[in-house]
Amino acid sequence: MSKKLSITAVSYLNTVPFVFGLMSMGYKKHFNLSLDIPAECARKMLNNEVDIGLVPVYAVLNKPEYKLFSDYCIGALNDVRTVTLLSNGPLATIKKVYLDNHSKTSANLIKVLAKFYWKMDIEWVTADIEMIKIPLPQGEGMLAIGDKVFDLEQSFEYQIDLAKEWHQFTGLPMVFAVWVTSKELSPVLTEQFCKALAFGVENISLAAKSLNGLKISHDEATHYLTKNISYVLDKPKRDAIALFEHYVNLMNPKE
């Protein structure tokens, strides 16, 4: 009998269709699933603690040993809503930005945008966003990601959606997290896993109905999951990953 696959996935609302699919297909028989912040997903995968991970795309850039696993991801065609630069002044006035320490993908995305698209010099400070006192003074902003944005966005006059900015810059969607593995996995379990992801993505309204304790309404959650998040890892998204890697490498040239 094959051993269970060990899986880590992002613990945000945007992952709910995947979790719903795994649960609905009886995942406990085949998978051990843990839900973690993006940085912890990356740590577990890079330390070989799991077989499969839904990890921030930045974590596996320039690491060919990690193969894309399945045709699904956490992406956005335009506005993503939950990767946002929040401030009380327009973009041109921002001199300092607190970076959410939950994901290096979003932190590097805003740095790429600042350098190559906005043409701005900004002071970056990695922080626990939930510990930052608000309101922020003029000239400061915070990059917030994940479900905390639903609360924070109400406290700021300006919200700059980074996926929308990336799309305006490149004409491509943005990919924030991908399913990857560095192992040769059982074809049977691989097929079961991919079918479970597909089931969840095809039944988002049912997935949203299964939620409790949301910070937003079920209708708003369904809208977010169907309109802001795009799950299919198609060619434009694969092209976007390659282009993001290109800009990251330009920004951080190897010595």
For residue 117, give the nearest of 80, 86, 162 by alpha carbon.
162
pLDDT of residue 1: 41
Last residue of a domain, one of 109, 136, 170: 170
Same structural domain, 150 and 114? yes
For residue 88, give the nearest of 27, 176, 152 by alpha carbon.
152
Same structural domain, 9 and 45? yes
pLDDT of residue 255: 45
Same structural domain, 94 and 158? yes
Q: What are phi and psi of 51, to 5 degrees?
A: -85, -40
- Rounded to whole angstroms, the Cα distance separating 139 from 136 reads 8
Please give the residue range of the domain that contains residue 194: 5-76+174-251
Average pLDDT over residues 60-76: 95
Last residue of a domain, one of 170, 188, 221: 170
- Rounded to whole angstroms, the Cα distance separating 186 from 113 reads 40
Average pLDDT taken over every residue of the chain: 93
Provide the Cα torsion 192, 206, 103, 38; round to 10°. -40
Average pLDDT over residues 38-67: 94
pLDDT of residue 254: 67
Number of domains in the chain: 2
Residues 99-125 have pLDDT tens digits of 999 989 999 999 999 999 999 999 999
With bands split at pLDDT 50, 70 and 90, how would you rate the model's confidence at 164?
Answer: very high
Same structural domain, 69 and 178? yes
Same structural domain, 11 and 137? no
Average pLDDT over residues 216-231: 94
pLDDT of residue 2: 57
Same structural domain, 166 and 91? yes
Same structural domain, 102 and 144? yes
Q: What is the CATH number of the domain that holds 117?
A: 3.40.190.10
Residues 2-46 have pLDDT tens digits of 578 899 999 999 999 999 998 887 766 778 899 999 999 999 999
Same structural domain, 95 and 159? yes
Residues 166-218 have pLDDT tens digits of 999 999 999 999 999 999 988 888 888 899 999 999 999 999 888 877 778 88
Contacts of 91 by beta carbon, 8 Å cutoff, 6+ apart: 85, 118, 120, 158, 160
Same structural domain, 238 and 194? yes
Please tell me the pTM assigned to this model.
0.94
Same structural domain, 146 and 224? no
Last residue of a domain, one of 129, 153, 170: 170
Same structural domain, 166 and 90? yes
